[in-house]
Amino acid sequence: MKITDKTDKLLSLGLGKDILKHYQEPHRFYHTLEHLDDIYNQLELKGLGDNDILLLATVFHDIIYDPRSATNEEDSAAYFNEVFAGDQALKDEVTQIILDTKSHQPKTELSRIFCDVDLNILHQSFDKLLVYEQQIFKEFQFVDHVIYRQKRVEVLQNLQAMVNNPALSYLIDYVNNRQPRIAVYPGSFNPFHKGHYNILQKAEQIFDKVIIARGINPGKEKSTYDLPDVLKYRQQATYEGLLTDFTDSLGYDVTIIRGLRNGSDLQYELNQYRYMQELSGKNISVAAIFCDMEFEHISSTGIRQLEKYGKAGDYLI
């Protein structure tokens, strides 16, 4: 059964019909409705599908989820207390369960049951653990890969102490040795517009992760636009000097993304590629991606001109 099949029950508990929309936020890849479905199905198998405390804990334990935050559980508990006006004893029990998921050290019997089903993914076979890992990797794509690998191994090792599953050792080895396909999308992005975003979306279908690298170009005017909020869960970097020096400094192999609108762009980027080949001490990988036709006329220069007349908004993210 899907958690969305319990909408009537949630309404009867005084919750809004849109409460589950939080789990459809675009930065979520693991902490989604599918995760809630897994938890609820585990509870049903235990004969606990009609337990209101566990149902509410399922819905609210990850309702506030920002992978950049260290207080998701506290914020989720606070949100639950804000929107739920039911029985106080029930409210206190659900709040405790939500808070216990931070460390998965349960303080009540119902919390022990919930913490077990919340960690159900860690009991799965290696192939399912790989899918899980890819989802977590995407949620934390704003973190540099070197740091992510170190911190992720530490987290998995701590979880391994709670779960007896030999496949976790293989997952830890995988994370330690994985070389994800990472690209760098450089530009002045003054501003970052819909054409840029179209290229980024295409690149993300090819690569595991794309770093947004904002270059400070002495030949162009100083950036006057901030990067849009839609990019805040992606890794961002600023660099001065040569792009090849920046990519070399990352410490791992990357592919450079070049966005193209037409044949003139292609010729220009080919010349730039030849320079990069000569300036870099190693092979340079470049992926040229054409934008869709509807975006090929958009340029940052044109948008800055339109901004003077209040007409730039339709081209911005």
User: Is 289 found in the same domain as 266?
Assistant: yes
Predicted TM-score (pTM) of this structure = 0.91
My answer on whether 73 and 189 are in the same domain is no
- Residue where one domain finishes, among candidates 177, 193, 217: 177
71 and 91 inside one domain: yes
pLDDT at 118: 97
CATH number of the domain where residue 223 is located: 3.40.50.620
53 and 9 in a single domain? The answer is yes
For the chain, percent of residues with pLDDT exceeding 90: 80
pLDDT score of 221:
64
- Residues 297, 277, single domain; the answer is yes
Phi, psi of 284 (to 5 degrees): -110, 130
What confidence category does residue 309 fall into, taking pLDDT thresholds of 50, 70 and 90? Answer: confident
**Among 177, 199, 219, which residue terminates a domain?**
177
Average pLDDT score, the chain = 93
pLDDT of residue 220: 64
What is residue 205's predicted lDDT score, i.e. its pLDDT? 97
Does residue 107 sit in the same domain as residue 127?
no
pLDDT band at 28 (very low <50, low <70, confident <90, very high): very high
Q: Could you read off the pLDDT of 170-203 as tens digits, one per residue? A: 999 999 999 999 999 999 999 999 999 999 999 9
56 and 88 assigned to the same domain:
yes
Output the pLDDT for position 195: 95
Domain hosting 255: range is: 182-315
Rounded to whole angstroms, how far apart are CA atoms 240 and 188? 11
Query: pLDDT of 261-307, one tens digit each?
Result: 887 888 888 878 787 777 776 778 999 999 999 998 988 989 998 88
Is residue 97 predicted with pLDDT exceeding 80? yes
Is 22 found in the same domain as 105?
yes
- pLDDT for 219 equals 66
Name the pLDDT band for 1 (thresholds 50, 70, 90). confident
Q: How many independent structural domains does the chain possess?
A: 3
99 with 210, same domain: the answer is: no
Whether residue 173 sits in one domain with residue 204: no
Choose one of 118, 141, 160: the last residue of a domain: 118
Give the model confidence (pLDDT) of 54-90 as tens digits.
999 999 999 999 999 999 999 999 999 999 998 999 9
Q: Are residue 146 and residue 270 in the same domain, yes or no?
A: no
